[in-house]
Amino acid sequence: MQLVSACTKTLLDSRGKAAAMEKFSISILLIISLLPFLCSSFSQESPTDRRILVLLDDFSLKSSHSIFFSSLKSRGFDLDFKLADDPKLALQRYGQYLYDGLVLFSPSVERFGVALDLAAVLDFVDSGHDLIVAADASASDLIKSIATECGVDFDEDPSALVIDHKTFAVSEIEGDHTLIAADDFIQSDVILGKTKIEAPVLFKGIAHSINGANGLALKVLSASPSAYSANPSSKLSSPPSLTGSTISLVSVMQARNNARIMITGSLDMFSNRCFRSGVQNAESAIKYDKSGNEQFVAELTKWIFHERGHLKAVNVRHHKLGETDEPAMYRIKDDLEFYVEIYEWSGKSWEPYVANDAQVQFYMMSPYVLKTLSTDQKGLYHTTFKVPDVYGVFQFKVEYERLGYTSLSLSKQIPVRPFRHNEYERFITTAFPYYGASFATMAGFFIFSFVYLYNK
């Protein structure tokens, strides 16, 4: 009897333990399942970057460029400063990226720390993260090759700087005209914000050009037609390789996965000195108290870190006119309605995106229908059209690529079938003579047989 009770007791005990264990494991499961949300890098829901790794050549940059960094911090970014050759440097741990963005303010670094190299940086970009690369006259091969991989070629001459004898920035001391006051901005409100940048941007650094084979890179700030790239301290022996407005001072590239990259040949552009100083273009009489650098850099980083110009298209729906359920297949000549919702990220929330140029294609190897979508101003776009008289596997395609915006590329496959055997018109008016003829023949044959057989 006692034995039995003891047994039941242990049994109960173990049951209690099991229950506790279960609770524990459930909570662990919960945490694990939440983990991706807690530490997701480039979430679909809020595309703005949060954690940014800044790699520096030495920590003195932290103070000399403090305005730039503090403006980032005030916008809510977590900045993590590391020396570029820090041996413990790592972008990812256990396959998860630790950062959403990378700022390379280390132009002279020849090698990064152990776990970081060219391929790692490119992988970082290819998995959808953003990158800012700033070079200067001491730019290393590593930095140049990163730029090359992103479709931008720095001037090969290591001692060359951008020189402009016409649009240089006027300063007290007569310099070698390498400090340029550039104001040839890209015409895009999305990239540079709605407020016009009045003052020129001070730039001192090396030139680069966009690789013609790359269709994704853009010049955001170009040099004036009188600029060229050469060594300012030596005499020009041969014509400079890069001249005029082919020289790009600041370029951006939006990769196909919407990772954004900014490349500039001037690290000084971000410095406190350039932010603070006044500027006067040698060609114009207006003298600005403050250079355009701060506004330019702030607006551009907003774009780079997805605070602006990030679109998403969701809820692609389609159905037959007058129905609500989405069919698995359409029939030729069906009338259908197509919906898609497009939102723009404002930095904090998704706002309806309003435009009148979004189009949908009904596509099978080539577009059969191309319709402009009409919007209800609340993000919902819609249109109606008739399925063409061609069967096959079609796609609804929304390809929306506008300057500065993330490219939207949606496709939804839908087969289109021909008529079923019983969907054709059964009796056609024009065919009545044929119906009449066949019935008349039948009747005639019957009568004839009857007469022939019994008329004797």
Partner 1 sequence: MLARTEPINGTAKPKPVSSPMNNFKSDLLNSFSLKSLKLKTKQQELLIRVSILCLVYVLAFITRLFSVLRYESMIHEFDPYFNYRTTLFLTQKGFYDFWNWFDSESWYPLGRIIGGTLYPGLMVTAAIIYWTLRFLRFAVHIREVCVLTAPFFASNTTIVAYFFGKEIWDSGAGLVAAALIAICPGYISRSVAGSYDNEGVAIFALLWTFYLFVKAVNTGSLAWALASAFGYFYMVSAWGGYVFIINLIPLYVMVLLITGRYSLRLYVAYNCMYVLGMLLAMQIRFVGFQHVQSGEHMAAMGVFFLMQVFYFLDWVKYLLNDAKLFQVFLRITVTFTVGVGAIALGVGTASGYISPWTGRFYSLLDPTYAKDHIPIIASVSEHQPTAWSSFMFDFHILLFLFPAGLYFCFKRLSDATIFIVMYGLTSMYFAGVMVRLILVATPAVCLISAIAVSATIKNLTLLLRAKNKVAQTASAKGIGSAKSSSKGLLDQSQPFHRNGAIALLLGAFYLLSKYAMHCTWVTSEAYSSPSIVLAARGAHGNRVIFDDYREAYFWLRQNTPPDAKVMSWWDYGYQITAMGNRTVIVDNNTWNNTHIATVGCAMSSYEDEAYEIMRSLDVDYVLVVFGGVTGYSSDDINKFLWMVRIGGGVFPVIKEPDYLVNGEYRVDKGASPKMLNCLMYDRARGVEIGNKDVKLEYLEEAFTTSNWIVRIYKVKPPNNRW
Which residues are at the interface with partner 1 (CB under 8 A)?
122, 125-126, 149-151, 213-216, 253, 255-257, 259, 261, 329, 364-365, 391-394, 413, 415-418, 420-421
CB of 267 to partner 1, least distance (A): 23
Q: Count the neighbouring beta carbons within 10 Å of the beta carbon of residue 177.
A: 19
Q: Which is nearer to partner 1, 36 or 418 (CB)?
A: 418
Q: Which is nearer to partner 1, 207 or 416 (CB)?
A: 416
Q: Which is nearer to partner 1, 220 or 227 (CB)?
A: 220
CB of 331 to partner 1, least distance (A): 9
CB of 143 to partner 1, least distance (A): 16
Q: Which is nearer to partner 1, 124 or 185 (CB)?
A: 124
Residues 6+ apart with CB under 8 A from 233: 159, 176
395 three-state secondary structure = strand
Phi-psi region of 334 (alpha: psi -120 to 50; beta: other; left: phi over 0): beta
Do the beta carbons of residue 130 and residue 309 sit within 8 Å?
Answer: no
Q: Which is nearer to partner 1, 36 or 415 (CB)?
A: 415
CB of 364 to partner 1, least distance (A): 5
Residues 6+ apart with CB under 8 A from 335: 320, 321, 384, 385, 386, 387
Q: Which is nearer to partner 1, 215 or 444 (CB)?
A: 215
Do the beta carbons of residue 383 and residue 372 sit within 8 Å?
Answer: yes
CB of 319 to partner 1, least distance (A): 18
CB of 154 to partner 1, least distance (A): 16
Q: Which helix (H) or strand (E) holds 424?
A: none
CB of 10 to partner 1, least distance (A): 45
Q: Which is nearer to partner 1, 125 or 247 (CB)?
A: 125
Q: Which is nearer to partner 1, 67 or 152 (CB)?
A: 152
Q: Which is nearer to partner 1, 278 or 404 (CB)?
A: 404
CA neighbor of 380 nearest in space, from 344, 411, 342: 342
CB of 2 to partner 1, least distance (A): 57
CB of 394 to partner 1, least distance (A): 7
Task: Give strand pairing partners of 366.
Answer: 364
The Cα 136–Cα 360 span in angstroms is 45
69 three-state secondary structure = helix
Q: Which helix (H) or strand (E) holds 167?
A: none
Using CA atoms, how far residue 40 sits from 36, 301, 347, 396, in Å, is: 5, 21, 17, 30
The Cα 130–Cα 124 span in angstroms is 8
Q: What residue ranges in 30-143 does DSSP mark as E strands? A: 51-56, 78-83, 92-93, 96-97, 101-105, 130-134
Q: Which helix (H) or strand (E) holds 12?
A: helix 2-38
CB of 444 to partner 1, least distance (A): 17
Please name the residue ranges forming H helices in 133-220: 141-149, 189-192
Q: Which helix (H) or strand (E) holds 322?
A: none
